[in-house]
Structure 1
């Protein structure tokens, strides 16, 4: 029997034959690099621009693009060994490639496919010119690969992968869920003319992502004669801007976490494990076997066989507690690129809302601003229309077909706030019921409990209310200063945990008493010069992650670690908190769940190496007359992989100093700043 992997390979080869891009694409596009190495793609057609963008991205980070392709093909274990098995299993379990093969030609508009296929053709051309950089089994890359990437990756942003993990390994997940931790995520803020000191509209684009890898931001500017003109953040291997701006409008993205997936417990026929009960009758699972190729440490490969089963609900997993099916938002959907393309090209609020009304993107908050002074917040999601009166928060009975939802809530009915009287909106991965000033906030009673809307607040959300929300006349300087806020709110989890560290009697231990005094006097700011921040932040992080441990024991452990690496319990935060990139090693302000977000992991020398958090940041302004300007910064530079490039870490000093550079959006702004001008292949 032919395996699914064999079918997938055949489909990709067939797709490649149909996706041959005209050789004229390279002649229709120019790549202009500015002094920061940022590619400005100028082309006649949208497809030619995608061809140029792919070439520029491949020049800067072809290895990550290749990894992203293998990941969405369900072949990551060929590169990563056993660490890639779970990824590959989930690709098959979610039927990513079956969905792509069935729907690619049918569901995607010809113009969208043309852009995706031109992008893929450019990657193939780059690979042909640089065969020494190509991983075995990569080629050809097709437009279907791009569709598979968004099909697989999209639902992971609302935590679908965690739903599968909890179902596959309930005991391991039970332990993990018992360990609370500081929130991670992103920031987005939009301020209307009524709240700006100068009558401008301002937008903060501030997603928090890993510093490297397939989900690390790549900055580019695209302009075509067909009306595609955007600046912002792209993912490796993707042709469409995911957040940023065009001349008329822009948006920021933050991760949200509504309840968009359900786990159904199935009753399996004791006489035939291939059947499950539905509406009083036995129904047969759809099932087949797949092969996952796994790289060994010696360079060879093993082949693992896995059964893939589906019920009427969706993918099926078995664990020691039974058999479960998972139904989730985004299942069977491949049009995410279609919606992003429409958002990229929207010229006004009506067109942007029309793009959003496609209802394709599985989740993600959007904070919006435009040249007309409109601001808005959308707690986006493909919300299932579930049966009322049922507890959807846990495992749902799987023997009733009336619980298998199919419809989704229309865009007009999902949580959103537009042009509030307060003149501002925000999100920092918090509840949609606190998105602006209190009088304008959404009310929980207006939405069905079946939506599972989140109710949490992060430190960043509290600080948004305490900075942007407390200032009714925000200047340009204040708008940026609030973004780089370094404080933990008194209402934050960290502040609450600090009270535990001051609750025990340390009079008989001079060292503990000194530590306690240091923490008591801390202003809760993560400034690089702070001598209390290292002890406070590191101790509280451990305390939140292992709440069963006595606070005094955690504090002593942190004190010992600081003495080992720094010779004292109060080094400056800048000595501890670092951004390291090649030969660049700099102190950074901020920290976990701070508006200036930095998430680090200890290096052998005890310093925290920043690995995620603030990455690509953009400030966008439309002045009183509607004229647009923007600035941006990347934590490293445009050459996200090439250590020999001058742009490997050239933006890092600016990033560490919490400063930005101009975005050269128009031809006039770019004039005089072009360092290199070439066509793909030159």
Structure 2
């Protein structure tokens, strides 16, 4: 009897809670519909379904964008906004708990609450709140798509997306993740450390982006060209969303954004355009604290013991149906920043831009800038903590900027290692000025390129930034990707680039003779004593390879499979023995499913969307970038199932912008799925 009474009480408790949630949701939905009446907006869609949103004010246009974005991808937006609230686990269960903890460890919401009204202009707050209202209206009209208890989304939720996700582009998440391993991953730097010398051919093939700007001096007809060619996953929260925003207040920007963003992140207006590519500045520092053996919550700093700020944060995790449980976890803070306690030490984290919430405001100002001076003023805000920027405009100006919020660090330490967390000498409090960044404006060569490569080779000639002018504490990358090598060979090898050539070069399918893939192919081709017949056949195919990724190329599949598919995508050579083993293993799979080791690349490399399964050219780290070789759950994509590979990322939103001699703009775009 007691057990039955207990079960009844539990069910009544759950039922009462569900009733209260449903009642509250109805009220919020009614409010969302009522609030929508204040906006004067329209949404028009072209034949491709791309939204062209219009508003009397900028806020009206942002409201329309929010609704259109939700109409197309509400589930992704909802998940993203729950994530930046620290509430993802309440819907996704255990898989969302890590992100929720990170939001609370970094105090993302507290930072926004403290600075939202003071650090953001009223215009920026208005577009963020209007965008959230557009999402709320869609959710109110479609309650069946809505998770319980999520409404209303707010402007602060929108801003939180920029604040939380921005540092991940320069690797904050990876640095934090390594702290949660079984042992310490890096040495603690001692003073007097030497940095590596400049080497433009460092190994590594990042999944990244391309951007090119060509000035009138390098075109036969006085045109200015800008290529916006980001490489992102083809699906998910950081897949590009194409849109055109127009208002009667002068906002007229066409380009791409991510779900949950009220502004265009890469694109153009009638006067100017810009592209971003990912860079890898060293903006994250990890400090090893010296703990008090008599008090686990004290650490030594400049010879004195200081108290850690100790909090218990709650993480609500969905268990089953409407049942959830709130787990408590320790979150610490030191003078350096957010702090975690592990068996192998206590570590604090400090990173570039960690107290700034103005990222969305900077992008908003970039959207509305009308000339080089206004755009450069927006860039000088330094709120966007990383990402290269390539620019072009109707006046024929171009530039390349290695954008990074560089801390002003003490010389003498190796800042890529962990730092001593017991001294003010390693606690930076200021940032280097904008003038300290690698910047090339209107170079004599008439072009700039950015392909996730070193800023020290972004053009030809003496206008390239000089490594000697930049401190080793900045961690500026020195490698050259294949894409950057080919871009310099193509755009740099043609002194009069036509519009047709501008397009053709972007879709180039070759690996440079200087690239690591070419070096690996030559290494394989030099083998003359292979005993296994499969390996001998593969070597002969690679000897014949033209370093191309054309659809009909019969050497590409075995060549790229041999030069080592990497678990994180891309390619990194791992020695001749491994590559010969790959020829044997993957060559056998090709023969099993295709009847031969040399199927065409188009038979192997595929783009799949629903029931549509088509051949696709290109490959990892070529200018026509397609990333199809990934390990999924320890397996090589679908290759082991049917001898084929699905494209998962790379070329996606491609936007080719041209201004003629009269300053008139022409823009063509394509999405990975058409």
TM norm structure 1: 0.87
Show the counterpart of 2:208: 185
User: Shift of the alpha carbon at 1:20?
Assistant: 7.6
Hey, what does 2:652 align to over in structure 1? 615
How much does 1:172 deviate?
Answer: 9.7
* 2:297 counterpart (235, 258, 274): 274
| Count of paired positions | 620
> In the alignment, which residue of structure 1 is the partner of 2:98?
86
- Quote the offset at 1:302 in angstroms: 4.8
Verify the 8 A CA contact 1:542 1:554 in the aligned structure 2. no
Q: SS in structure 1 opposite 2:457?
A: coil
For the pair 1:486 / 2:513, whether they are aligned, the reply is: no
How far does the alpha carbon of each residue in 1:577-632 deviate from its partner, in whole angstroms, 9 at most, with x for none?
A: 11111121111110111111111242232321111111111000000111111000
Aligned residue for 2:82? 70
Distance of 1:392 and 1:258 partners within structure 2: 11
Deviation at 1:563, TM superposition (A): 1.9
1:471 CA drift (Å): 0.8
> 1:642 corresponds to which residue?
none
Q: Give the structure 2 partner of residue 665 of structure 1.
A: none
Number of the residue aligned with 2:65: 53
Q: Does the alignment pair 1:28 with 2:40?
A: yes
Per the alignment, residue 624 of structure 2 pairs with: 596
Q: Say which of 48, 55, 61 aligns to 1:43.
A: 55
Moved more, 537-546 or 403-412: 537-546
- Show the counterpart of 1:230: 253
Larger mean CA deviation between 385-394 and 498-507 belongs to: 498-507
Instruction: Label 1:609 to 1:25 Cα distance change in 2 as closer, same or farther (>3 A).
Output: farther
Cα distance in 1 between the residues matched to 2:324 and 2:164: 25
Q: Which residue of 2 aligns with 1:577?
A: 605
1:158 aligns with 2:195: no
**1:613 counterpart SS class:** strand
Question: Which stretch of structure 1 is more off in the superposition, 429-438 or 164-173?
Answer: 164-173
Aligned-residue CA RMSD (Å):
2.3
What corresponds to 2:14 in structure 1? none
Unaligned runs of 5+ residues in structure 1 are 1-8, 175-179, 637-650, 652-682
Q: Which is worse superposed, 131-140 or 414-423?
A: 131-140
Give, in whole Å, the separation in 2 of the partners of 1:533 and 1:83. 38
In the alignment, the residues of structure 2 paired with residue 345 and residue 241 of structure 1 have an alpha-carbon distance, to the nearest angstrom, of: 10
CA distance in structure 2 between the aligned counterparts of 1:546 and 1:495, rounded to whole angstroms:
11
1:552 and 2:580 correspond: yes
Does 2:163 correspond to 1:147? Answer: no
User: 1:640 is matched with which residue?
Assistant: none
User: Of 379, 401, 404, which residue of structure 1 is paired with 2:424?
Assistant: 401
Local SS of the residue matching 2:617: coil
Aligned to 1:244: 267
Q: Distance in 2 between matches of 1:311 and 1:21?
A: 45
Separation in 2, partners of 1:310, 1:435 = 40
Shift of 1:58: 1.0
Instruction: Select between 246-255 and 604-613 the one with higher mean Cα deviation.
Output: 604-613
Match of 1:104 among 87, 108, 116: 116
Residues 581-660 of structure 1 correspond to what in structure 2 (within 5 A)? 581-600=609-628, 601=630, 602-603=637-638, 604-636=641-673, 651=674
Corresponding residue SS for 1:259:
coil
Structure 1's 27 and 261: CA in aligned 2 closer, same or farther, altered over 3 A?
A: closer
Greater relative CO (CA pairs within 8 A, separation 6+): 1
Q: CA contact under 8 A between 1:168 and 1:318: conserved in structure 2?
A: no
Matches within 5 A, 1:303-382: 303-382=326-405
SS of residue matched to 1:318: strand
The structure number with the bigger radius of gyration is: 2
Q: Is the 8 A contact 1:182 1:541 kept in 2?
A: no
SS at structure 1 position matched to 2:468:
helix
For 2:448 and 2:101, the matched residues in 1 are separated by: 40
Q: 1:126 aligns with which of 134, 138, 150?
A: 138
| Aligned mates of 1:27, 1:313 — CA distance in 2 | 44
Does the 8 Å contact 1:25/1:51 carry over to 2?
no
Where structure 2 has 5 or more consecutive residues not aligned to the other structure, the ranges are 1-20, 187-202, 631-636
Cα shift readout 1:96-116 (whole Å, capped 9, x = no counterpart): 111111111121111110111
TM-score after normalising by structure 2: 0.88
Asked if structure 1 preserves the Cα contact closer than 8 Å seen for 2:215 and 2:223, the reply is: yes
Q: Secondary structure at the match of 2:647?
A: strand
